[in-house]
Structure 1
């Protein structure tokens, strides 16, 4: 079976649905892509024969972040109101079946948020993870301020956000952000094997267990993205945001004005 949404395909391997997205060259996302991914996951939820999901992207980079209003390159684009995107993102967290995410290359900013939709992350050795929001003078989004502390703890989350530091696959695994690190050539195989192992369990039991472990998660993400959205709207209007985007593009520290 192969179903095509906007930039998204679904293929199957036994009881595993493989959801792939492609926005070359760096797989930036926008509202349309997140909506298409949510459509795909909801379609899989309606298909009883599919018991687990493998989420992946095409190309050398998993996802370099958001692209709004034609701006790319910083891992976060300019948007007067990111609320529409976050409402679509919450749909991803409301789906029912376990998700394994395969990460190659960069998962930056909103791309890190997309990776955190999954229950598990399998990373290639060349994977890089960063929540570089403060580097461009913006507040974290995509529910990351709620999701990351659940997964890697408050202190690791604070370090990741306050510094904007970029982590290797091995460093991400050491803090619990990543579940397995494999060579790039074995990423697809390892991620599919992980998803297949999950799919071998009794589906009602797996989904019930997942629902308990993630009880209240989507609602909490919805509430948290409302706060993130307000903070982002305020900071999008700042001079520091404009400076941050330019500084990242020029690979230099920001010259902040605190306004």
Structure 2
């Protein structure tokens, strides 16, 4: 079995992880409560995102959910005891090195959210934290934070103004509106909408297209896009040049040029 065909799957009760064809799929797996995020789920999701980012065999990550919801938000029910995220049990500070939103935003590996159903609150912010969103026809994005007396706590106030501009972000956050998949596409929050039955097939097709490119170059491009959000153009050009120089020395760049000259598909190895 080749590295490309290697398949690995591990599972906890609430998060599933599998790697195949250079694609890691992370699946929220608490369908009985619409994949609301418990304390243990937060920790495991962060750990699996880090695992995928550090695995040299992984070139793209798909994040999705089991059941009729992608993620209905944080699990705030006090009856879940130590596993819940009630006000009484929540810490007053965060370790930003290991929280899923910051881990997701800092990842060099491209991420695709296959939004299989409702993404509300924390679930919506998590979907927005991915690089690409492919939504099932029945999926929704619910910015219901202010309807629950909270703010978008996991990145929404940072992502939305940058993604759709201040005015549209203000409209969505201040009203707490729910957008259908088609409305999400119209608002620029989804890359595409597909029939429910085709969601994972389409997400894997896009992931395979990404994984077929030189992984070091893809990761460097994502890194530069992220850094570019907060720097001037002259500084950015300088940093891109510094990223480009090491790529000139890679086996993959030589292979890319050779494959182009020979009119064939390149075979990249990540070195």
TM-score, normalising length: structure 1 = 0.76
The alignment status of 1:145 with 2:145, answered yes or no, reads no
1:68 is matched with which residue: 56, 66, 76? 76
Question: Could you tell me which residue of structure 1 aligns to residue 209 of structure 2?
Answer: 197
The answer to whether the Cα contact below 8 Å between 2:115 and 2:127 also exists between their aligned partners in 1 is: yes
Match of 1:215 in 2: 227
Q: In structure 2, how many angstroms separate the alpha carbons of the residues matched to 1:56 and 1:36?
A: 15
Aligned residues: 215
Q: Contact (CA 8 Å) 1:37, 1:92: kept in 2 or not?
A: no
Q: Structure 2 CA distance, aligned partners of 1:28 and 1:121? A: 19
Higher RCO, 1 or 2 (CA under 8 Å, sep at least 6)? 1
Instruction: Give the match's secondary structure for 2:71.
Output: coil
For residue 157 of structure 1, the aligned residue among 150, 169, 181 is: 169
1:57/1:32 CA distance change after superposition, 3 Å: same
Contiguous gaps of at least 5 residues in structure 2: 1-7, 231-271
Report the Cα distance in structure 2 between the residues aligned to 1:217 and 1:142, rounded to whole angstroms. Answer: 18
Q: Does 1:102 align with 2:114?
A: yes
Partner of 1:16: 23
Q: Partner residue of 1:227?
A: none
**Root mean square deviation of aligned Cα:** 2.3
Of 206, 212, 227 in structure 1, the residue corresponding to residue 218 of structure 2 is: 206
Counterpart CA distance in 1 for 2:180 and 2:142 is 9
Which of 31, 37, 40 is residue 29 of structure 1 equivalent to?
A: 37
In 2, Cα distance between equivalents of 1:181 and 1:18: 19
Q: 2:9 aligns with which of 2, 12, 19?
A: 2
Structure 1: runs of 5 or more not aligned: 219-259
Q: Which of these two proteins has the greater Rg computed from alpha carbons?
A: 2
TM-score using structure 2 length:
0.73
SS in 1 for 2:188: coil
Decide whether the 8 Å contact of 1:30 with 1:85 is kept in 2. no
Name 1:88's counterpart in structure 2.
99
Q: List, as ranges, runs of 4+ consecutive aligned residues in structure 1 with deviation greater than 6 Å.
A: none
Give the 5 Å matches for 1:119-134.
119-134=131-146
Partner Cα distance (2:225, 2:107) in 1: 13
The residue that corresponds to 1:186 in the other structure is: 198
1:105–1:128: 8 Å Cα contact kept in structure 2?
yes
Q: Structure 1 151/31 Cα, relative in aligned 2: closer, same or farther at 3 Å?
A: farther
Alignment correspondent of 1:173? 185
Point out the more displaced range, 79-88 or 180-189. 79-88
* Cα pair distance change 1:31/1:88, threshold 3 Å: farther
Contact 2:104 2:130 in 1 (8 A): no
User: 2 CA distance for matches of 1:34 and 1:138?
Assistant: 19
CA distance in 1, matches of 2:68, 2:151: 27
Change over 3 Å in CA distance of 1:136–1:85 after alignment to 2: farther
